[in-house]
Amino acid sequence: MTKTALLFSTALLGLTFSTPAAVLATQPASVVQTAETETDRINKWFDEKYEEELKFSPIEQTYIGRKTDYGMIDDFSDAGADRQLAWLRNAVAEMKSRFDYVKLSPEAKTSYDIWSYNLKQAEAGLPFRTNRYVLHQHNGLQSFFPTFLINTHKVETEADMLGFIQRLSGVATALDQLLVRAQTNAAAGTRAPRFAYEGVIDQSTKIISGAPFDDGEPSAIWTATEEKLQGLVDSGAIDEARAAALREQARAALTSAFAPAYQRIIAWYEADMANTDASPKGVGALPNGQAFYNYRLANQTTTELTADAIHNLGLSEVARLRSDMEAVKDKVGFDGDLKAFFKYIREDDRFYFSDDDAGADQYIAAAKVHIDAIKKLLPDYFGILPKADLEVRRVESFREQDGAAQHYRSGTPDGSRPGIYYAHLSDMRAMPIPTLEVIAYHEGLPGHHMQISIAQELTGIPTFRTQAGYTAYSEGWGLYSETLAKEMGGYQDPYSEFGRLTSEIWRAIRLVVDTGMHSKGWTEEQAVAYFLENSSIPEAAVRSEVRRYLVNPGQATSYKIGMIKILELRARAKEQLGDKFDIRAFHDVVLGGGALPLGILEQRVDQWIAATKAG
């Protein structure tokens, strides 16, 4: 998965692309000059509007490495969302009234189209505000807040520490706003499944367990507080007396604001638990649910594909990939059918590290080895390379879940904070070795870290383009990068190749089970059974995945849809360009073009093909 994206209305990731000289060279000089003039004007306007939009999200400001509004937390109320939508409506209306689309460069037209598309999507989602699950077990905001404060809010000065303490109280306000939204949606008939309630309660309880909330071992947030204070003392920024005073301020914020807000979350979710369905249902069963799911599919895939079309595509892809898996099974000489081979890989001890901290450390070390090896090969396949560093880390204990999906969180544009590939390693039996390599490529290189870092580092285009995000593009790239890694020499072990196929069929299965549960009335157990029948993924991971799809409808379909589009565009370019096709140039166009809706990405690649032919 990508960075914290989709937690807020402000996108947290994105990319850019400078128009190829060959494109401009095909236009008359007078047209180029006119386009550049109008383009300069609109690009300046885009940067001004980006700064305005950024004010809505102090969290996003911190993510991109700024210390403005460093003590603030975003407004998560419905009123806050209304204000941001009103701003976007006015901004798009202003854009259309002030700038002549015809006079813009191809690159500026793309920026214009993105703004128009974003408003269209925001308007499309407005009728479904009460259909959303506000808090749930999968990377919910209740677990995001302490993760953000611990890992992203850096403390280098006393002022930074005061901002940290202020944010401890700000989290309480945000949680109360989210609780109101959850209560409003519940009154409208939208409640997350019971397991999601249980997850919210469990995570919230863990966050406020231990010192300074009780007599137990220091909580994760308190440990981070102490470490940040000690860092200031060690650097000479403050003395021990000032540290003691700040420590008491932090303790007061945690015990009088932070913890009580989590207790309110826990209390309401416990009280409302009786109103949930013990047997989870897809969102199609909720009020206005089918229309909401159709909206989610369009929003997440950035296409107009229907639930039936996506379901049938998934069935076709599963069948194709099963055939490839049969070939690997035969290659290793396994005596039995594919179902038996799945069971063998799922259960045999040879495919797992030990289920303890030592095994978790081995997993992290092995992932780093694969990432380092592929990093040396990147110049053969890419012209644009990332500058930012990449770290591989285990997920913090308070949000670690057995079998939960690995994920990536981006660094800062200036490289001061590295990108991080996080792995859930509390249950090593949910982390088979055959899929270790492919996950490292997807989350690290040449996957999310490469794509997002390149985006953030690009210059010469409006800043908002470096932070925009579309799931089908970013996750489509992540899945495409898994196959690309094979071309680059990865998966020398046939079991690792089987792991790659396992990862791809996993995403094909998502097309089937996501649409199955949310559109066709499948039960959770039907989805789990289909998953296990068609993959070697351990059952703990399967159940975690299925529950993820239940609380985040449509998102899981974006991976395969995006990958298929990128492969389709690559095949088209190769066919039309023949000997002129250059894989490095193709990748630079796809990555340099930014995180785009798939239709706009297709236009960009077609434009590059035409320019290359002309050149």
DSSP 160-205: HHHHHHHHHHHHHHHHHHHHHHHHHHHHTT----HHHHHHHHHHHH
For the record, the structure tokens of 205 come out as 């309880």
Cβ atoms of 57 and 87 within 8 Å: the answer is: no
Residues 6+ apart with CB under 8 A from 448: 1, 2, 3, 408, 419, 421, 442, 474, 477, 478
What does the pLDDT look like over 145-192, one tens digit per residue? 999 999 999 999 999 999 999 999 999 999 999 999 999 999 999 999
Global pTM reads: 0.89
Residue 56 pLDDT: 98
Measured between its terminal Cα atoms, the distance across the chain in Å is: 38
Residue 3 pLDDT: 37
For the record, the structure tokens of 435 come out as 């899929």
Residues 6+ apart with CB under 8 A from 300: 471, 472, 554, 555, 557, 558
**CB neighbours (10 Å) of residue 6?**
18
For the record, the structure tokens of 163 come out as 């901002």
40/111 Cα distance (integer angstroms): 12
Flag the least confident range among 32-46, 87-101, 129-143, 301-315: 32-46
Mean pLDDT of 269-278: 96
Residue 104 pLDDT: 96
Alpha helices, DSSP H only, in 57-151? 58-63, 78-98, 106-125, 141-151
Residue 36 pLDDT: 53
Q: How far is CA 205 from CA 21, 148, 572, in A?
A: 57, 18, 52
Cβ atoms of 513 and 545 within 8 Å: the answer is: no
Residue 612 above 90 pLDDT? yes
401/391 Cα distance (integer angstroms): 20
Question: Cα torsion at 150, 156, 161, 162 (round to 10°)?
Answer: -140
Q: Kindly report the CA angle at 176 between 175 and 182, in degrees rounded to 5?
A: 85
Question: What amino acid is encoded at 319 in this protein?
Answer: A
- Residue 472 pLDDT grade (very low, low, confident, very high; cuts 50, 70, 90): very high
Nearest Cα residue to 600 out of 15, 26, 125: 15
To which residue do tokens 């913890």 refer?
259
Residue 306 pLDDT: 98
- Residue 29 pLDDT grade (very low, low, confident, very high; cuts 50, 70, 90): very low
407/39 Cα distance (integer angstroms): 37
- 422 φ, ψ (degrees, to nearest 5): -100, 140
Q: Kindly report the CA angle at 592 between 591 and 596, in degrees rounded to 5?
A: 70
What does the pLDDT look like over 530-573, one tens digit per residue? 999 999 999 998 999 999 999 999 999 999 999 999 999 999 99
Q: How far is CA 226 from CA 246, 247, 250, 296, 566, in A?
A: 10, 8, 10, 42, 47
Question: Cα torsion at 123, 124, 125, 131 (round to 10°)?
Answer: 140
465/352 Cα distance (integer angstroms): 41
For the record, the structure tokens of 127 come out as 């009728």
Please name every residue paired with 513 in a beta bridge, in sequence order, or none if there are none. none
Mean pLDDT of the chain: 93
Full strand arrangement of the beta sheet holding 407-409:
390-394, 419-423, 407-409
> Which 3 state secondary structure label does DSSP give 422?
strand
Cβ atoms of 517 and 549 within 8 Å: the answer is: yes
Residue 517 pLDDT: 98
Residues 6+ apart with CB under 8 A from 35: 24, 27, 103, 104, 105, 108
For the record, the structure tokens of 131 come out as 């259909």
Residue 23 above 70 pLDDT? no
Rg over CA atoms, the chain: 24
- In total, the chain counts a number of residues equal to 615
